[in-house]
Amino acid sequence: MEHRHTKGDKTKRVKRVRDFARSALKQLKTTTLFKLLPPQSFKTLLEARGDYLTRLGNQGRKTLKGLKNLSPEKVRQTIQGLGKKTLRDTREKRVAIDFHTIPQYHKDKTMLTKTRPTKGTTWGLGQATLFLLGRKQAFLDVLPITTKNIAETFKNTMQTFTKEIHKYQLKLVTLFADKEFAVNEVVKYLVDLRIDFVIPAKHQMYKEYLGKLEEVDIQYAGVRYTGFLCVGHVSGAHLVVLRKESSKGDKVLAFLVRGEVDVHGAVILAEEYRGRWGIENAFRSLEEFRGRTRTCDVRKELTLVLLSYLVLNLWFSVRSWVKVKLWVFCESLAGLLDLEGIKGLGVLHKSVLGLLGSFTGSELALCTSFYPREINCK
């Protein structure tokens, strides 16, 4: 039976869209950042959405120029504040630590970090992130990375985030890290700390063991595993190799762990590692939203990146109770911020403001683009 959308359904949808945009704006207003960056500048960042700020004309250039008055540390503190609020209302507290790098071509390398060769450069803006996994997601902290050595970077990050984890009254149970940290110096550091970890192994670490796997037959979470091996590694950790069936043939999973595990423990760790993909999806959303610039000022670039993390936190907050796509969220919030800018001018009549307040974000953006900005009503 076909369902026909009634007028009541449309009204509920419009109200829901207006509610989540207002909820995000309310959270933004509680931060000190809202006082330092004008509503029109936030609106410009939302409208850029993966494009260059200068494409938005004078307002884009004005926003980029205004970033010099905003410190990256202030934006980071705001991200931490919103993360703490989300953490307070969350029962299942599982966090992931991961690194994200944005390629850069600046001559000034003081705020950049060494990265894997990509897009013709080995330098980029690096961020270490502490991310809350689960239904309620949030970046609890974003730490800019400026060290040039991967092992030193990891050690410094772990020291900072370990303190924060204790501050949030969380317990570090197992660390799931990316393959780039499968470095002997990093693994030895974790073994010495006595922290359980799972780090995907590089191919050269396990290729000699591929013909030595023990035959097993275990099915877990819809996946069938047919091979297993656990051996000691030169770093002091243990190397686990699993073979699993897939539609495209057998695949091999290999990762480093702190202690020796049996086949059942290895399979559970492999499935748990899949849960950290929530942070990878968050990074994809960041690249989808992040505004681009051609500025030579690395500090402005870093501030813009951190502001993108902040907007994602607002989106994650409303997405925990209503399904909304990132671009719809940006359009709706931009419309309300446009209204905030008009209110700040103090030139519109109260009845007109009340009328504008009844529109959705997209309708408001259309309406305010035609409405005269300077009307003196008494």
Domain definitions of the chain by residue range: 7-333
CATH architecture of 7-333: Alpha-Beta Complex (3.90)
The C-alpha atoms of residue 111 and residue 102 are separated, in whole angstroms, by 12
Q: Read off the pLDDT of residues 32-78 as tens digits, 9 standing for 90 and up.
A: 888 788 888 889 999 998 899 989 999 999 999 989 889 999 999 99
User: How confident is the model at residue 154, as a pLDDT?
Assistant: 81
- In this predicted structure, the answer to whether residue 270 has a pLDDT above a threshold of 70 is yes
- Please report which confidence band the pLDDT of residue 91 belongs to, taking 50, 70 and 90 as the band edges: confident
The C-alpha atoms of residue 64 and residue 188 are separated, in whole angstroms, by 43
User: How confident is the model at residue 169, as a pLDDT?
Assistant: 79
User: How confident is the model at residue 265, as a pLDDT?
Assistant: 94
- In this predicted structure, the answer to whether residue 342 has a pLDDT above a threshold of 70 is no
CB 209 within 8 A of CB 218: no
Rounded to 5 degrees, φ, ψ at 151 are -70, -45
The average pLDDT across 126-154 equals 85
| Candidate ranges 7-11, 21-25, 239-243, 357-361; pick with highest mean pLDDT | 239-243
- Please report which confidence band the pLDDT of residue 356 belongs to, taking 50, 70 and 90 as the band edges: very low
User: How confident is the model at residue 321, as a pLDDT?
Assistant: 83
- In this predicted structure, the answer to whether residue 103 has a pLDDT above a threshold of 70 is yes
- In this predicted structure, the answer to whether residue 340 has a pLDDT above a threshold of 70 is no
- In this predicted structure, the answer to whether residue 3 has a pLDDT above a threshold of 60 is no
- In this predicted structure, the answer to whether residue 132 has a pLDDT above a threshold of 80 is yes
User: How confident is the model at residue 303, as a pLDDT?
Assistant: 93
Beta bridge mates, 66: none
- pLDDT: is 229 or 335 the higher one? 229
- Please report which confidence band the pLDDT of residue 18 belongs to, taking 50, 70 and 90 as the band edges: low
In this structure, of 110-124, 160-174, 281-295, 331-345, the range with the lowest mean pLDDT score is 331-345
- Which tokens go with 173? 């149970």
- In this predicted structure, the answer to whether residue 284 has a pLDDT above a threshold of 70 is yes
Percent of the residues in the chain that have a pLDDT greater than 90, as a whole number: 35
- Please report which confidence band the pLDDT of residue 360 belongs to, taking 50, 70 and 90 as the band edges: very low
User: How confident is the model at residue 207, as a pLDDT?
Assistant: 93
- Please report which confidence band the pLDDT of residue 341 belongs to, taking 50, 70 and 90 as the band edges: low
User: How confident is the model at residue 118, as a pLDDT?
Assistant: 64
C-alpha atoms less than 13 angstroms from C-alpha of 297 in its C-beta half-sphere: 13
The C-alpha atoms of residue 93 and residue 89 are separated, in whole angstroms, by 10
On average, the pLDDT of the chain sits at 82
Closest CA to 256 of 272, 273, 233: 233
- In this predicted structure, the answer to whether residue 350 has a pLDDT above a threshold of 50 is no
The C-alpha atoms of residue 291 and residue 304 are separated, in whole angstroms, by 7
User: How confident is the model at residue 372, as a pLDDT?
Assistant: 37
- pLDDT: is 324 or 134 the higher one? 324
Q: Kind of pairing, strands 214-220 and 94-103?
A: unpaired
- Please report which confidence band the pLDDT of residue 302 belongs to, taking 50, 70 and 90 as the band edges: very high
In this structure, of 14-28, 83-97, 352-366, the range with the lowest mean pLDDT score is 352-366
The C-alpha atoms of residue 309 and residue 173 are separated, in whole angstroms, by 26
Q: CA-CA-CA-CA torsion for 21, 22, 26, 29, nearest 10 degrees?
A: 70
- In this predicted structure, the answer to whether residue 313 has a pLDDT above a threshold of 60 is yes
User: How confident is the model at residue 119, as a pLDDT?
Assistant: 64
The C-alpha atoms of residue 250 and residue 226 are separated, in whole angstroms, by 9
